[in-house]
Amino acid sequence: MSRLDLIIFGATGYTGKNAVKELCRVLKNNAFTGLTWGVAGRSESKLDDVLREVSKKTEEDLSSIRKVIADVSDEKSLTDMCLQCKVIVNCCGPYRNYGEPVVKAAIEAKTHYVDVSGEPEFMETMQLFYNERAREAGVYIISACGFDSIPNDMGVIFLQQNFGGTVNSVESYLTVMAPKNPSGGYINYGTWETLVYSLANYSMLSKLRKKLYPTPMPDFKPKLTRRRLLHSHNSAYTLPFPGSDGAVVYRTQRSLYEHESQRPAQFKAYVTFPSLFMGLKTLFGAIVLYLMSMLSCTRALLLRYPRLFSGGTVSRTEPSETDVQETRFYFELLAEGWAGDDADLTSPPNKTMTAKVTGSNPGYGATVVALLFSAIMILREQDKMPKCGVLTPGYAYRKTSIIQHLNENNLKFEIVSRDSEKQNEK
Ligand SMILES: NC(=O)c1ccc[n+]([C@@H]2O[C@H](COP(=O)([O-])OP(=O)(O)OC[C@H]3O[C@@H](n4cnc5c(N)ncnc54)[C@H](OP(=O)(O)O)[C@@H]3O)[C@@H](O)[C@H]2O)c1
């Protein structure tokens, strides 16, 4: 049996189903019509339901799409699935529970792998234990190809490529504009479950990092300013962004430093709130969520009553289509550094630049667009990618045309100001 270009594993989940639907749309573009694909999951009848539902929505005939039965608890089924494609697009999460056997099977079958994990512990464990094996097998294992962390990780790369000099630091401010009164929540239960388990295991990260990176990177100066926990930015209030973006950007920048001798950019991510009250309310909610995730009895409550503990944003059943579609976001990325190739990097930074990354439906629209183009880049532009292994998106895709494709598909990267250049022109 010939290998398909890609298989979406976990196609019966909310993210997986959205990836199938988005793939049908992407394939209407002439550039990708020849791409072959299939779906995989542990229940044939559920896979049938997904293909029927997507077929109805997209008016595509999906009757000949290959269905593969694979269960995370059955190693052989995973290897058989991976042997049937060139890239496995893994939408089965939480990845800390279901990811490792799929990565292992992909390496065994010499199949490339992408996912939308936002779990640093999973990603860094895969890098620690499977990087060499992936390299030897000649495969790419690339996590964080969704909303976590393509906008920030590729956003920093985008700034570095457009800066016209050396970037010392980037601060990222995420603003999410969600419907005021969501009818059914705009975050799926799978994401909530993943968040709760990630918080519960947060303390394991520092031990893991000592093994992954036994030697620290040199101190690059000037150090990025440490902001207060709750600080104001423009007319908004901000908190540190608790997601995985900081960890992913760090790994990308560290790879650039170690393999390309490029000065790494320091990075810090924040999330904005329209009022001090909203910022304080979120901070309080985050502390309660963190503490409750620690104990198994309170963790069970979080998992049992997601809507209650998420303030109505998480839905146990699928989120409402209108709510997710009406959720918009933008990242404002502020870079600071030095102009020109031969700048004195011990002098104070003399140049700033701002980029914006905008889109809608962050969890299941922008995410699946980024995920699919991550897979497509491996299929089409491998010659522009670095050596195989367990890599981050920023390091893997920095020389490909992924940003151009994302721009054409509703996830827009743009430079919005080049401040010091203006000053120089005056
Ligand atoms: N980083 C981002 O930006 C981003 C965005 C969205 C989602 N995500 C992540 O994506 C993951 C999935 O989220 P979701 O909301 O789509 O969750 P979901 O709807 O619960 O889907 C989970 C999928 O995993 C499958 N699965 C579970 N156990 C399995 C097993 N033993 N064998 C085979 N398949 C199994 C489920 O199959 P069944 O249907 O048979 O149960 C389902 O297809 C989560 O980790 C979430 O955090 C990340």
Ligand 1 mutation pick, 42, 88, 327, max ligand atoms within 8 A of CB? 42
**Between the CA of residue 397 and those of 374, 382, 391, what are the distances in Å?**
8, 9, 10
Can you give the pLDDT at residue 226? 87
Question: Whose CA is closest to atom 26 on ligand 1?
Answer: 92
d(Cα 367, Cα 411) in Å, to the nearest integer? 9
Question: DSSP letter string over 353-402?
Answer: EEEEEEEE-IIIIIHHHHHHHHHHHHHH-GGGS-SSEEE-HHHHHTTSSH
Question: Whose CA is closest to atom 14 on ligand 1?
Answer: 190
Can you give the pLDDT at residue 64? 95
Ligand 1 atom having least distance to the Cα of 363: 5
Measure CA of the first residue to CA of the last residue in the chain; give whole Å: 65
Residues with CB under 6 A from ligand 1: 10, 12-16, 41-43, 46, 71-73, 91-95, 98, 116, 118, 146-148, 188, 190-191, 194, 363-364, 367
Distance 172 CA to ligand 1 centre (A): 28
Candidates 425, 403, 411; CA nearest to 364 is 411
**Between the CA of residue 336 and those of 31, 234, 265, 395, what are the distances in Å?**
37, 17, 9, 21
Ligand 1 atom having least distance to the Cα of 17: 16
Question: Whose CA is closest to atom 11 on ligand 1?
Answer: 93
Distance 98 CA to ligand 1 centre (A): 9
Class of domain 4-146+367-397: alpha beta
Within 10 A of 189 (CB to CB), how many other CB atoms are there? 20
Ligand 1 mutation pick, 91, 241, 245, 248, max ligand atoms within 8 A of CB? 91
- For residue 140 the two structure tokens come to 């790419």
Q: Is the peptide bond before 149 cis (omega within 30 degrees of 0)?
A: yes
Distance 14 CA to ligand 1 centre (A): 7
Distance 312 CA to ligand 1 centre (A): 20
d(Cα 142, Cα 391) in Å, to the nearest integer? 5
Q: Are 344 and 350 in contact (CB under 8 A)?
A: no
d(Cα 373, Cα 247) in Å, to the nearest integer? 22
Based on C-alpha coordinates, what's the Rg of the chain?
21
Q: Are 286 and 263 in contact (CB under 8 A)?
A: no
d(Cα 94, Cα 79) in Å, to the nearest integer? 20
Ligand 1 atom having least distance to the Cα of 18: 16
Local structure of residue 30 (DSSP, 8 states): G
Grouped pLDDT means (10 residues each) for the chain, 426 residues: 95 97 91 93 98 95 97 98 98 96 98 97 97 98 97 98 97 90 76 90 90 93 90 91 94 97 97 92 90 94 90 80 88 96 91 97 94 98 98 98 97 88 43
Can you give the pLDDT at residue 220? 93
Strand pairing report for 236-240 and 231-233: antiparallel
Question: Whose CA is closest to atom 46 on ligand 1?
Answer: 191
Q: In what order do the strands lie in the sheet with 389-391?
A: 66-69, 37-41, 4-9, 85-90, 112-115, 140-142, 389-391
Main-chain phi, psi angles of 216, to 5 degrees: -70, 160
Candidates 72, 112, 118; CA nearest to 92 is 72
**Between the CA of residue 211 and those of 115, 127, 147, 205, 215, what are the distances in Å?**
23, 11, 27, 10, 9
Beta-bridge partners for 40 = 9, 68
Distance 416 CA to ligand 1 centre (A): 36
Can you give the pLDDT at residue 354? 97
- For residue 361 the two structure tokens come to 């439906």
Question: Whose CA is closest to atom 44 on ligand 1?
Answer: 93
Ligand 1 mutation pick, 47, 116, 122, 195, max ligand atoms within 8 A of CB? 116
Q: What angle do CA 375, 209, 142 make, to 5 degrees?
A: 5
Can you give the pLDDT at residue 422? 44
Ligand 1 atom having least distance to the Cα of 195: 47
Local structure of residue 181 (DSSP, 8 states): S
Looking at residue 209, its amino acid is R
Can you give the pLDDT at residue 31? 83
Question: Whose CA is closest to atom 33 on ligand 1?
Answer: 71
d(Cα 280, Cα 300) in Å, to the nearest integer? 25
Can you say whether residue 78 is alpha, beta or left, with left for phi > 0 and alpha for psi between -120 and 50 degrees?
A: alpha
Can you give the pLDDT at residue 182? 64
Q: What angle do CA 107, 100, 396 make, to 5 degrees?
A: 60
Distance 13 CA to ligand 1 centre (A): 5
